[in-house]
Amino acid sequence: MGFYEKSRFTGGIGNLNYILEKKNEEGQPPLLLCTYFPGPYCSDKTPDELKKTHEEEYSEEGFVRMTEFLNETAARTGMELTDEELDQVAGGPALPAGVNLY
């Protein structure tokens, strides 16, 4: 958990990208904040309306629950984009079939 004291962590599961960071608000207990969004692009290139958040308590137990949440969300949604959503994220037409960005 010490990593989150000074840094945020970015990662992905399939087409689900996420950012984990510690959230501190005056007078409130710290939280583990997850911002998640569909890939294939990074947060800076993904419109805010496609991003969602989830919070857990900032503790080892909260981290375990966050991990479970991310795994379940990735499995449940697949975070698959329609061609229209991909155009919105990319700012242009969808990639041709078979093109891999990674």
Collapsing DSSP to helix, strand or coil, 39 comes out as: coil
Mean pLDDT along residues 51-70: 92
Q: Where are the chain's structural domains?
A: 2-90
- Other Cβ atoms closer than 10 A to 15: 15
Q: Is the pLDDT of residue 93 over 70?
A: no
Which two three-digit tokens encode residue 67? 């991990």
Q: Is the pLDDT of residue 6 over 80?
A: yes
Scored b (16 or more CB within 10 A) or e, 33-67 reads bbbbbbbbbeeeebeeeeeeebebebeeebbeebe
For 13-34, the pLDDT digits (tens) are 878 899 999 999 999 999 999 9
